[in-house]
Structure 1
Amino acid sequence: MTRVTVLGAGVAGLCVAQELACRGAQVTVIDPAGAPGPGACSWWAGGMLAPFCEGEVAEPEVVDLGRTAAAWWCAAGADVTDAGTLVLALSRDRAELDRFARRTQGHRWLDRAGIAGLEPALAERFDRALFFDTEAHLAPRATLTGLRDRLAARGVAFLTEGAPEGTVIDCRGLAARDRLADLRGVRGEMAVLRAPGLGLARPVRLLHPRHPLYLVPRGDDVYMLGATQIEGDGRGPATLRAVVELLNAAYAIHPAFAEAEVLEIGADARPAFPDNMPRVLRAGGRLHVNGLYRHGFLLAPALARQAADMVLTQEGT
């Protein structure tokens, strides 16, 4: 039996542990926090499994790798909602919607009636939208906690410290800069709101030339609102400017957000390489899975498969 130690219990580490455990490896996960939580940037993620939308700015490889993410998470026991993604723009930013359409695939145009059929609360405010009907989303915190618990139930050991044994797969995110010098941080900020009565069923992206925003339903009238992108690895509290921009954009989607309860405001830094593409690479006697950038839940399954292939192929040679 192949013995593997995974460093880090964020989305990358848990996906790697899942992939290896499913293939019969003996897996230990070491993370100082012991379990998924606020210390992992994936705790603050949107949870959108939206490869076609990401294709607006990401490389084609991101789209290709991300297409299988929803099926992987379903197979891993996660609660995945297949409701698609709705992309909107204010009337003054209509050119942004046209530009988004040119740069992406997998969508269809909706008029006001089409928007009303999907999100009645938005039909009076928008008369034109893009709908990516094959995309999905999940709740990151419940997904991470559930995956960790299922892995523990099948025999994966979770430790807060200890010497790694066997093959070491480093999934520590920004903490791995002690071994990956070109890794950098990209800060993001988010807010969790409760807005009773809106009833939005799917992620909504509002395009803006400077402050694009996404809104992801979490159930029970709760929505995750994000996210700024700022070069820097600061992991402290959100700034006033970021919060104001986020909340103003939410109000632009629907004025009911003016009365929303602000349940939580958070910030963290995502690990990225210079080209914003993830890596599975060998360095310093370890296999590294890192650089997921803003695509954690979307790309972690594909990278986990690559890492497992590399480990188990090496073991068999």
Structure 2
Amino acid sequence: MATADITVRGAGIFGLSIAWVLACRGAQVQVVDPNGLAAGASGGIVGALAPHVPENWNPKKQFQLESLLMAETFWAEVQQAGGISPGYARTGRCQPIADEPALTLALQRVETAKNLWGKNATWTVRPIQNPEWAANSPTGMEIHDTLSARIHPRHACHALAAALASQGVDILTDAPETDITVHATGVVGLDQLNAGRTRMVGAGIKGQAALLDFAAPDAPQLFADTLHIIPHADGTTAIGSTTEREYDDATSTDRQLDDIVARARAAIPALKNAKVIAKWAGLRPRSRSRAPMLGPWPGRPGHFIANGGFKIGFGMAPKVAHTMADLILDGHDTIPQGFEVQASL
């Protein structure tokens, strides 16, 4: 590999995606992570790339919409370069409608989706199409959107690593410093930013998820009882996740995971007897502003931050990568209001 001029610290979804776009644009990049590939939150199993509700629009929702629309091309190019599938597919999402007020609101959002999403995707209210692959719906109706997509987080990180390797970029455990460094270090990075400050910049929020031996690779993902149910391309189905601010062990699973699996089985008839084949627990980085933190590190010339993906890191990653590459390589700042690092400091 040629001598690097940019170091990306962190081999999770933000770091790998930024490194990929930088390398594609001709930069000499090195990725450094002492813990290896996808060792943190990006090594999870859920992978729901779902949009915000189409109303009360703001820069965060617009950014995520643009990223979701970029995702198909982004992941196709990654797979072509490295030969590994990230498990991406825009299979849509179904949500049950609980009562008449919820039905009225869902119908209103049909129109706001047309205005905000344009011809890119639809939000439809319809009778339940497949009772076996649907959550309990007292109204017999469901919301179906065609914007939601799925990805297998762990597979996606391996796909990005393979794509980077095709460009001569390996994942290193240590490397000499360069003039430009991107810090995409997740919870560790938030802890470093918190040090010496009077208020929290961000924190790790624990999540637990399970993988079931149930194949429905072409089915839409489901959102029911606050749970994401994601059929993956590899013939498994993921259930997630918990949101825990207090915990004893960040990487252990417990009764809270058993509870969400039980709720998923109760809600979705097809999952009643599906066997749990894997479990995951870990910390996801959430900034104080709840938006990703992007941009220069104040007071540290040549250093940049990309952190705070929390639950939407994979959905945001394509747009985050291009936004950071624009800033680092061209000095072109397109970071949305509220995403600036200062918003969380």
Give the TM bin, normalised by the shorter chain.
Answer: 0.7 to 0.9
Structure 2 residue ranges without an equivalent (≥5): 80-85, 114-121, 195-200, 333-345
CA distance in 2, matches of 1:151, 1:100: 42
Give the counterpart of 1:34 among 30, 36, 43.
36
SS at match of 2:193: coil
Relative to the length of structure 1, the TM-score reads 0.83
* Aligned: 1:132 with 2:145: yes
**CA offset at residue 307 of structure 1?**
1.2
- 1:123–1:191 distance in 2 versus 1, CA, 3 Å: closer
CA RMSD of aligned residues (A): 2.9
Question: What is the aligned partner in structure 1 of residue 329 from structure 2?
Answer: 312
Give the counterpart of 2:265 among 251, 256, 259.
251
Question: What is the aligned partner in structure 2 of residue 156 from structure 1?
Answer: 169
* Aligned: 1:109 with 2:125: yes
CA distance in 2, matches of 1:301, 1:51: 14
**CA offset at residue 226 of structure 1?**
0.3
CA distance in 2, matches of 1:232, 1:167: 36
- Superposed, 1:106-255 pairs within 5 Å as 106-112=122-128, 115-116=129-130, 121-122=132-133, 126=137, 127-181=140-194, 182-195=201-214, 201-206=219-224, 208=225, 212-219=226-233, 221-232=235-246, 235-240=250-255, 242-255=256-269
**Paired letter, 2:180:** T
**CA offset at residue 82 of structure 1?**
2.1
**Paired letter, 2:329:** L
**CA offset at residue 32 of structure 1?**
1.4
Relative to the length of structure 2, the TM-score reads 0.77
Q: List per-residue Cα deviations over 1:180-209 (Å, max 9, x = no partner).
A: 22121222110111136x676121111x3x
CA distance in 2, matches of 1:157, 1:259: 42
CA contact (8 A) 2:124 2:144 kept: yes
**CA offset at residue 216 of structure 1?**
0.4
* Aligned: 1:303 with 2:320: yes
Question: What is the aligned partner in structure 2 of residue 290 from structure 1?
Answer: 307
Question: What is the aligned partner in structure 1 of residue 65 from structure 2?
Answer: 64
Give aligned pairs, total. Answer: 300
- 1:195–1:60 distance in 2 versus 1, CA, 3 Å: closer
Q: List per-residue Cα deviations over 1:71-124 (Å, max 9, x = no partner).
A: 3223332442122111125x5x66556556656734101113xx13xxx62369
Question: What is the aligned partner in structure 1 of residue 83 from structure 2?
Answer: none
CA contact (8 A) 1:55 1:62 kept: no
SS at match of 1:229: coil
Kindly indicate which of the two structures has a greater share of residues assigned to strand: 1
Structure 1 residue ranges without an equivalent (≥5): none
Q: List per-residue Cα deviations over 1:273-312 (Å, max 9, x = no partner).
A: 1121012122234201001111111112211112111111
**CA offset at residue 128 of structure 1?**
0.9
